[in-house]
Amino acid sequence: MNTKQTTILVGLIFLLIAVVAGITLNQPYQFHGFIVPPVQHDNHVFLRTQEGPMNLTKYHDKFVLLYFGYTYCPDVCPTSLAKLKTALAELSEAERNKVQVIFISVDPDRDTPEKLNEYAKLFGLDFIGATGTRTEIDLVTESLGVKYKINPPDENGNYSVDHSAYTYVIDPNGYLVMVWSHEILAEEIAEDLTHLIETGIPVNQQLLAGPTPTSVICSLTLIPEFVNNGQGLYEHNCAQCHGIDLGGIPGWRTPLADGSNLAPPLGISSVIWQKTEAELIEVIKDGKNLNKPIHMPAFENTLSDEEIYSILQYIYSKWSINQKNYYAGSLTQTPMPPPAFTSTPTP
């Protein structure tokens, strides 16, 4: 091979390396955790620590890692907390300062704030142990979809607690953005945290499964006339079950004995709907669980499509911009125009 051919071959090799490197660098980061739709934390819910009441708004400048369990847990809880300790040790000091781990006990009868503080500090001097009254705990667990069950005690009064084995990642704006399974490795947690701290979640992923960092991406279209009419219609037809504040009935996530559920929240702490507006209108017209004691009545004979649309518009008006963006973007990828009705809704 002569010098000219060698030069061309070397050049082609470098070109190929550059192309491969470019493709690799342009690949979006693949998170090891699950990106989730935006569920805003209820900032009015206080938990209790050894230092006193704690509101999560105190940590809105950090990524908060929540783990739910109990100190008598024989294996899953200590394993998960030890994994978080190992992951944080792989971060730089500046990165660690942007993360706060909070261990929340769902067993307040045995886990006092003092005991939780001592337990949490076994895994990290800056780890926080917290709990609350049963109502306070349920408000937090329901808002995040955390499941737990206190099992009956044995003859000696000892009992176990079944609970979700996930770590919940709350971003500095107070939104749940990611969930890590129990099987995730410590180094994978460290990688996800480093990327979250440096860049957050890309906009295209947030539109499909999380909050958007910008003020408006493809937000819902709100028409003041429909919103105003919808308020009166909501208060007359929906508030009795879903609450005047759209807060739903506590415990709505837990199925009743007959398989039905209590009325869910519709406002800022609700789970985002996965149905289009047309599908929602049909559900409201047809009703739900009509053969069960707890049910949503059929409104087909009492509300027109226009009136149901007005109720939906009023509900949308109570959502955060992130909820509006997510609902519009995940279902349509474009702003949602109002439907073409033939008449004006009436209060």
Q: Are 211 and 202 in contact (CB under 8 A)?
A: no
Tokens representing residue 272 in the block: 């985002």
Does residue 154 carry a pLDDT above 50? Answer: yes
Bridge partners, 67 (sequence order): 103, 167
- With a pLDDT cut of 90, the percent of the chain lying above it is 41
Q: What's the rounded Cα separation, in Å, for the pair 128 and 110? A: 17
Asked whether residue 108 carries a pLDDT value surpassing 50, the answer given is yes
Give the number of residues written for the chain: 347
| Spatial contact of 106 and 72, defined as CB atoms under 8 Å apart | no
Architecture of domain 224-331: Orthogonal Bundle (1.10)
Residues 271/39, Cβ–Cβ less than 8 Å: yes
At which residue do the structure tokens 């879903």 appear? Answer: 242
Amino acid at 134: R
Q: What percent of the chain has pLDDT over 70?
A: 73
Enter the tokens of residue 94.
């500046």
Q: What is the mean pLDDT of residues 127-135?
A: 93
Token output for 92: 């730089």
Average pLDDT over residues 53-82: 91
Per-position DSSP letters for 68-134, written without gaps between them: EE-TT-SSHHHHHHHHHHHHHHTS-HHHHTTEEEEEEES-TTT--HHHHHHHHHTT-TT-EEEB--H
Domain at 34-209, CATH homologous superfamily: Glutaredoxin (3.40.30.10)
Query: Ranked by mean pLDDT, which of 75-89, 197-211, 242-256 comes out on top?
Result: 75-89
Q: Please state the domain extents for the chain.
A: 34-209, 224-331
Which one is predicted more confidently, 231 or 145? Answer: 231
Return d(Cα 130, Cα 315) in angstroms, integer: 33
Do 34-209 and 224-331 agree at the fold level? no
Q: Which pLDDT tens digit goes with each residue over 256-266? A: 888 888 888 88
CB atoms within 10 A of CB 298: 15
Rounded to a whole number of angstroms, the CA Rg of the chain reads: 25
Reading the block at residue 43, the tokens are 């900032």
- Copy the structure tokens of residue 5: 């051919």
How far apart CA 98 and CA 94 sit, in angstroms, is: 7
Taking residues 193-209, what's their average pLDDT? Answer: 68
- Max Cα–Cα distance, the chain, nearest Å: 89
What's 46's DSSP letter? E
pLDDT per residue as tens digits for the range 302-337: 999 899 999 999 998 888 765 676 566 544 333 344
| Predicted pLDDT of residue 328 | 62
- The DSSP element (H or E) to which 205 belongs, if any, is helix 203-209
